Amino acid sequence: MSQQEPAGGLSRRGLLGLVGAGVVGAGVASAVTYAAATAGTAASSGAAATYPFHGEHQSGIVTPAQDRLHFAAFDVSDLTKAELEELLRDWSYAASRMMAGLGAGEFGAVGGAYDAPPDDTGEALDLPPAGLTITFGFGPSLFDDRFGLGAKRPAALIDLPHFPGDALVESLTGGDLCVQACSDDPQVAVHAIRNLSRIAFGRASLRWSQLGFGRTSSTTRAQVTPRNLFGFKDGTANLRAEDTALVDQHVWSGGRDWMTGGSYLVARKIRMTIETWDRTSLREQETVFGRTKGDGAPLSGGSEFTAPDFTATGRGGTPLIADTSHVRLAHPSMNDGATLLRRGYNFVDGNDELGRLNAGLFFIAFQADPRTQFVPVQLALARNDAMNEYVRHVGSGIFAVPPGAARNSFVGAGLFD
Binders of its own copies in range 92-131 (CB under 8 A): 113-118, 120-126
In the list 2, 4, 80, 351, the residue contacting its own copies (rule: CB under 8 A) is: 351
- Of 29 and 82, CB closest to its own copies: 29
In the list 54, 153, 198, 392, the residue contacting its own copies (rule: CB under 8 A) is: 198
Q: In 77-222, at which residue ranges do the beta strands (DSSP E only) sit?
A: 133-138, 177-183, 204-212, 214-215
- Of 61 and 193, CB closest to its own copies: 193
Least distance to its own copies, CB of residue 316, Å? 17
Residue 224 per-residue DSSP state = P
- Who contacts 137 (Cβ-Cβ below 8 Å, separation ≥6)? 177, 178, 179, 180, 265, 399, 400, 401, 402
Least distance to its own copies, CB of residue 349, Å? 6
- Of 49 and 377, CB closest to its own copies: 49
- Of 257 and 278, CB closest to its own copies: 278
- Of 39 and 354, CB closest to its own copies: 354
- Residue 178 identity (one-letter amino acid): C
Give yes or no for a contact between 416 and 371, defined as CB atoms under 8 angstroms apart. Answer: no
- Who contacts 164 (Cβ-Cβ below 8 Å, separation ≥6)? 382, 383
- Who contacts 109 (Cβ-Cβ below 8 Å, separation ≥6)? 1, 2, 25, 27
Burial of 139 per CB tally in 10 Å (0-12, 13-18, 19+): buried
Helix (H, G, I), strand (E, B) or coil at 147: coil
Least distance to its own copies, CB of residue 71, Å? 10
In the list 337, 349, 383, 389, the residue contacting its own copies (rule: CB under 8 A) is: 349
Q: Does 20 bind its own copies (CB under 8 A)?
A: yes
**Alpha-carbon torsion, ordered 299, 304, 305, 311, to 10 deg:** 0
- Of 44 and 281, CB closest to its own copies: 281
HEC profile of 98-118: HHCCCCCCCCCCCCCCCCCCC
In the list 91, 208, 258, 366, the residue contacting its own copies (rule: CB under 8 A) is: 208
Query: Contact letters (x/-) for its own copies, 353-382, by CB under 8 A?
Result: xxxxx-x-----------------------
Site size for its own copies (CB under 8 A): 75
Least distance to its own copies, CB of residue 357, Å? 6
- Who contacts 286 (Cβ-Cβ below 8 Å, separation ≥6)? 292, 293, 299
Least distance to its own copies, CB of residue 219, Å? 18
Query: Contact letters (x/-) for its own copies, 55-74, by CB under 8 A?
Result: -------------x-x-x--
- Who contacts 236 (Cβ-Cβ below 8 Å, separation ≥6)? 225, 291, 296, 304, 305
- Of 229 and 401, CB closest to its own copies: 229
Query: Contact letters (x/-) for its own copies, 271-310, by CB under 8 A?
Result: ---xx--xxxxxx-xx-----xxxx---------------
Question: Could you count the other beta carbons within 10 Å of the beta carbon of residue 20?
Answer: 11
